[in-house]
A and B are shown apart, each in its own frame.
Chain A
Amino acid sequence: MPIHQANDILPSEITPPDIYRERRRFMQGLGVLAAGAALSAAPDVEAGVKLAGVRASAYKLDEDKTPYKDVTTYNNFYEFGTGKGDPAENAGSLKTRPWTVAIEGEVSNPGIYDIDTLLKLAPLEERVYRMRCVEGWSMVIPWAGFPLREIIRRAEPTGNAKYVEFVTLNDPRQMPGQRSRVLDWPYVEGLRLDEAMHPLTLLAVGLYGEVLPNQNGAPIRLVAPWKYGFKSAKSIAKIRFVEKPPLTAWMRAAPREFGFYSNVNPQVDHPRWSQAKERRIGEFFKRDTLMFNGYGAQVAGLYRGMDLKKFF
């Protein structure tokens, strides 16, 4: 089954973005945005709809959660524009059904999974994680999802699989930011296989117990909380098992500034700004950034003996 049927919508049937946005503003004005959005997709997979059967997990934090409004209106998702308000503004054009995720490369069980099959693959659990953006701000976010290793186990990587590559949907019709060449599309991210297998590494499908909003990477996204936010690929269309480290979108764009690992590390500055502190959204004073974003006890072992200045 093809991932996108390229010709199933006539260009004439697509609402021009200007009219769309105007309409959207009108709807927002009336306060019936949810009703408006429901017209474009099946109601049971819309952002804001409660996810059934999300279990509590041991991954909790003794820190205030960032309000839903801030998590969903202030983030980076260049597929919808480079401003931090752009994703919330523009992600309405993303269609999350039908959606498939291709599992391919060095695995015994390659295949194309339908998103609704993936949602039933493993029990969903709530995990409250810190999120540290490479730009120096941070949040505390309650995700709903399941560990990536659940998929990896079923895919059965071969001995050649050393890295996992994540590829975001590439469709400028749905993702207007892709019409600009700001990054080399599609967005590609990657993890070492052992990082991908780590119990902290999550595939998130929900936020605050509800279906993940488009602007946050619906229908399915990665969350690796000890790495800078950009490592956690959104709206994943492909998961590939490969032998060599994938060339990620940000490494391609600025190899001097973005390394493959991109672990949160207050001692290794971005070449142009300090990473020692961060602004937690909602707080006035900055806080110290923690090594591995505070997940050192769980993940430091993955990097034993490595020079983290060199492998930044």
Chain B
Amino acid sequence: MGAVLRNPKVWIALVCLLPLVRLIVLGGSGGLGANPIEFITRSTGTWTLVGLMVTLMVTPLRRLTGRADLIRYRRMLGLFTFFYAGLHFVTYIWLDQFFDPAAIAKDIIKRPFITIGFSAFVLLIPLAATSTHAMMRRLGRRWQQLHRLVYLIALLGVIHYLWLVKKDLTEPLIYGAVLAVLLALRLPWCVTWLQTARSRFAPARYQVGKAGAHGAGSAQ
């Protein structure tokens, strides 16, 4: 038991489940407001975007802190992101469109924000499917290339949000700005800067090489 509680993965998983627990608790107590289905759709969409941002934060954070072991948590964050994207998608298919294939097909073709959101979800599927160690080994170099799709997915996610709001663009633009920073931190110049910052302000207590066991996902 003690070993389980000392494993950060357990704690991270519990935190990742909080948005779902919140929805269940609110749903049980009538706290989802006048339009519960809209609430659930928005909430699962929001947490998908947050999940994407947090997952994309792992690599810059590793470079900044020198804590290579952070990579261990990236897969779980990515899979939780996929989980919330799945809930978001199911909410749309079931609670918004009631499994009406004709209406869904029309929506996907005709509504640019649905087209974009749907594409982002479809692109997430191969990433989730290839998240195992076995798949990493099997795909080798191509695994990394494939998983670079997440940059495009995050961008599509932000555009999906941007195109659905009626007028107030504040929130989608905040996600856009965060994503822009996260992507910029991957430019060669910024990578150097992050590493310099680390060596100057926080002499490395952890060595990047330490997480070698998870080498397949270490460079991004």
* Chain A interface residues toward B at CB < 8 A: 66, 69-70, 73-74, 78, 82, 84-85, 134-135, 137, 180, 182-183, 253-254, 269, 272-274, 279, 281-282, 284-286
Contact = CB atoms under 8 A, between A and B. Distances in A.
19 contacts: A70-B34, A74-B35, A78-B167, A78-B168, A82-B167, A82-B168, A82-B170, A84-B33, A84-B34, A137-B38, A180-B168, A182-B167, A254-B167, A273-B164, A279-B37, A279-B38, A281-B35, A282-B34, A285-B98
Contacts of A182: 167-168
B34 A281 contact: yes
Interface in B167-184: 167-168, 170
Given A73-B33, A253-B167, A274 B38 contact: no
Contacts of B107: 274
Given A285-B98, A286-B98, A272 B164 contact: yes
Interface string B112-134: 11000000000000000000000
A257 to B, nearest CB: 8
B214 to A, nearest CB: 42
Contacts of A284: 37
Contacts of A253: 167
A137 B112 CA distance: 20
Contacts of B170: 82
B163 interface: yes
A281 B170 CA distance: 26
Q: Is the interface of A mostly helix, strand, loop or mixed?
A: loop
Contacts of A137: 35, 38
A82 B166 CA distance: 10
Interface of B: 33-35, 37-38, 96, 98, 107, 110-113, 163-164, 166-168, 170
A272 B163 contact: yes
B31 to A, nearest CB: 12
Given A183-B167, A272-B112, A281-B34, 17 more contacts: A69-B34, A73-B34, A74-B35, A78-B168, A84-B33, A84-B34, A84-B35, A85-B33, A182-B167, A182-B168, A274-B107, A274-B110, A279-B38, A281-B35, A285-B98, A286-B96, A286-B98
A134 B167 CA distance: 13
Nearest to B171: A82
Nearest to A82: B168
A285 B168 CA distance: 28
A66 B167 CA distance: 26
A71 B160 CA distance: 29
Contacts of A84: 33-35
Nearest to A85: B33
A75 to B, nearest CB: 9
A112 B96 CA distance: 47
A37 to B, nearest CB: 21
Nearest to A250: B167
Contacts of A78: 167-168
Contacts of B96: 286
Contacts of A183: 167
A274 B112 CA distance: 12
Contacts of B112: 272
A289 to B, nearest CB: 14
Contacts of B34: 66, 69-70, 73-74, 84, 281-282
A183 B35 CA distance: 25
The 10 nearest A-B residue pairs measured at CB: A74-B34, A70-B34, A82-B168, A281-B34, A182-B168, A182-B167, A281-B35, A253-B167, A137-B35, A273-B111
A69 B32 CA distance: 13
Nearest to B164: A272
Interface centre among B98, B107, B167 (most CB of A within 10 A): B167
A272 B35 contact: no
A274 B167 contact: no
A94 B113 CA distance: 36
Contacts of B166: 134-135
Contact of A74 (B33, B113, B163, B168): B33
B98 A272 contact: no
Contacts of A74: 33-35
B103 to A, nearest CB: 8
Nearest to B166: A135
A285 B99 CA distance: 12
